[in-house]
Structure 1
Amino acid sequence: MRTPSPSWLLRGAGFAAVAFCALPAAANCGRPIVTPLAPVGIGVIIEGNQVSGIYPALLKQVSARTGCVFKTSVVPQARLESMFELGTADVMVPAVGTPRRDQFGDFVPMASARAMLLSVDADRPAVRDLTELLQRHELRVVAVRGNDYGEAYQAALAELSRQGRLYLEPDPLQVARLLGEGMADVTILTPMSLAQAMIENQRVRPLLDRLRIEELPELPWSHSGIYLSRKTLNAEQRRYLTAQLRKGYDDAKVWEQYRRYYPANVVAASMRLR
């Protein structure tokens, strides 16, 4: 499978900042908006010096319409989380809405997503919930450092760490490699995040056909979208950016991109639009 390439899905190189002609509306942003990006499915795709995906395309669209400048850089997920909490990033995108993140910014929901238990072992007995996962001491768990799917997820990771069977990796590709090499048994991720890593890397691509998806009832559907920092953006800036981001996000086109790019079972398990 290849990334679809209609004009709506941006594929740009050296994406240090999205900037277009300075329109009068740019005054509503006031200054360049610091927007670090971490790879997450086709929401944000990083390939060498190229950045593409649904959210970079959305930022480009907002820039073209308003003159606002989004100063972007590529960072690991854990660093993105830290930058947002410390107030060195104006935007966290994309992100799942959580109570912890709500302390630092206003959330702009775009879709719904959920994390699930993922593996490449079809013969393993099923895991019915997080409680059972914590009791299954033979299962080694790998997770992406900096991911947050809510309080139940964080509590489970803390207990798995205490038990000495949690591995933390910087991105979904490393997670896929550990699963493929038999160094870990399961992970907790959105299926599209792991599928994206498998699609883009020749070494782990064969694992996609073996991907096993299991629901964890403690991890329900959560809103996914964009956080705007209350530390660095004033109320007027946040209101303006919220309106512009929502105006540019086309549900039908987003859904089409997901369905064209991922296997049907991965899309069905991973997301719902607004």
Structure 2
Amino acid sequence: MWLLGLLAAGAAHAGCSRVIDVPMAPIGVSVRFEQGRPQGIYPTLLREVAVGAACQVAMQQVPRARQQSMFDGGQADVLIPASATPSRDANAEFVPLIQVRASLLTLDGEAAVPRSLADLVALPDYKLVVVRGFSFGPAYDAAIATLRQRQRLVEEADPAGVARALRLGLAPATVMTASILVGTLATEPDLAPLLKRLRVEPLDELGWNASGVYLSRRLGEPDRRLLRQAFGQAARAGRVWQLFNEHHPPGSLGGSIRPLP
């Protein structure tokens, strides 16, 4: 676990009342770990937010499904990154940072690809490979539950596992924000050749949605207010969008990531 005791010099407020626990899962260039040290878009953002809010943040590496279960079970204070969903809204406070659009991703394209999640589910032999614990809204969650029940789902711990499953032909497609898979392929030498083969197709039910950070309600309101303001300021100032552009290949974000309106 990496503990970031980042206290802003001369801060006008006292800072958070305790250390903020943030488990994180590898997600391409958004979150990666080098010799156990968190790197990438969101660890950088967290460090900057910690300085601005005069807080201490403890980050640790976990699989995505474990990250979600820790947050749901009250063992984590922050879930990042996360798409806004009604189930999460019931137990935590959402702060939008960016807009994302999940798509159908294939290698080299299919002769005929489904245009909607409903069409995909209706195809009797069509499989998906996904990251366990990902969510891109109610329509995605419902489709994943149906595919799992019909044994047409391959679930992996992280996007790199998804890419390898696609390469092996375990499923013809995945559904996620394209920038997640692009960032993963760009940072994994054995997967980099797949970048030229990647094809992105929109799905009718998956439009633009907010992605950001959830703050657990186990945090007191003063701590949530500090973090809410710091994350919100980073988004409004364009810092989040700047980090995405700094960490992704030029021209790779179109259609999958855009700044808040």
TM-score, normalising length: structure 2: 0.91
Tell me the SS of whatever aligns to 1:267: coil
Structure 2 partner of 1:235: 221
1:236–1:67 distance in 2 versus 1, CA, 3 Å: closer
CA 1:241–1:259 in structure 2 vs 1: closer, same or farther (change >3 Å)?
A: closer
1:90 aligned partner, one-letter code: D
Matched to 1:272, the amino acid is R
- Residue equivalent to 2:258: 272
Shift of 1:201: 1.1
Q: After alignment, is 56-65 or 22-31 more displaced?
A: 22-31
What does residue 116 of structure 1 align with? 103
- Give me the whole-angstrom Cα distance separating, in 2, the residues matched to 1:20 and 1:253: 19
Which amino acid in structure 1 is aligned with residue 56 of structure 2? V
Query: Residue 37 in 1 paired to residue 37 in 2?
Result: no
Whole-angstrom CA distance in 1 between matches of 2:259 and 2:121: 31
* Residue matched to 2:37: 50
CA contact (8 A) 2:41 2:244 kept: no
Q: Which amino acid aligns with 1:68?
A: C
CA separation in 2, counterparts of 1:29 and 1:257?
25
Query: 1:106: Cα distance to partner?
Result: 0.4
1:223 is matched with 210
Q: Which residue of 2 aligns with 1:204?
A: 191
Specify the alignment match of 1:168 in structure 2.
Answer: 155
Over 3 Å counting, the alpha-carbon distance change for 1:190 and 1:58 in structure 2 is same
In 2, the alpha carbon distance for the partners of 1:96 and 1:235 equals 22
Give the total of aligned pairs: 259
Structure 1: 4+ residue segments shifted above 6 A: none
TM norm structure 1: 0.87
Q: 2:241 aligns with which of 251, 255, 261?
A: 255
- Going from structure 1 to structure 2, the CA distance change for 1:206 and 1:250 (only over 3 Å counts) comes to farther
Residue type of the alignment partner of 1:211: L
- What SS is found at the alignment partner of 1:269? coil
- Does the residue aligned with 2:169 lie in a helix, a strand or coil? coil
| CA shift digits 1:175-205 (9 cap, x unpaired) | 0000011111111111011112211111111
Structure 2 gap ranges (5+)? none
Mapped contact 1:115–1:149 kept (Cα < 8 A): yes
Is 2:235–2:241's contact at 8 Å kept on the other side of the alignment?
A: no
